Amino acid sequence: MLRHMRLHILLDDDLVAEIDRRAGERKRSDFIARIVRDAIDDENRWDEIEAGLGVLTDDEHEWDADAANWVRAQRHDTSRTG
């Protein structure tokens, strides 16, 4: 069951006008919820990226020995899809 919580937030008049222009006056909540959800998704992605920093050392990549040869091999790999 989806629950909703009412929040009281203050926004500048020009920001509210832009929200209304983009979403419509009767759709403010849905628009703001979508924007906040997208921003949280972005923050979570950055958290994951930052958590992965430094996991690989400089000598653990398949391409370290010869990057150009590794790229050529990837281009000719028929087992890959896409």
Domain containing 27: what range? Answer: 13-75
Tell me whether residue 4 is in a domain: no
Residue 81 DSSP label? -
**pLDDT given for residue 41 in this prediction:** 97
Q: What is the pLDDT of residues 24-82, one digit of tens each?
A: 889 999 999 999 999 999 999 999 999 988 877 767 778 878 889 989 999 987 776 55
Tell me whether residue 38 is in a domain: yes
**pLDDT given for residue 82 in this prediction:** 54
Q: What is the pTM of this model?
A: 0.61
Residue 7 has pLDDT above 90, yes or no: yes
Tell me whether residue 61 is in a domain: yes
**pLDDT given for residue 81 in this prediction:** 59
Query: Into how many domains does the chain fold?
Result: 1
8 A C-beta contact, residue 22 and residue 30: no
CA 76/CA 82 separation, integer angstroms = 13
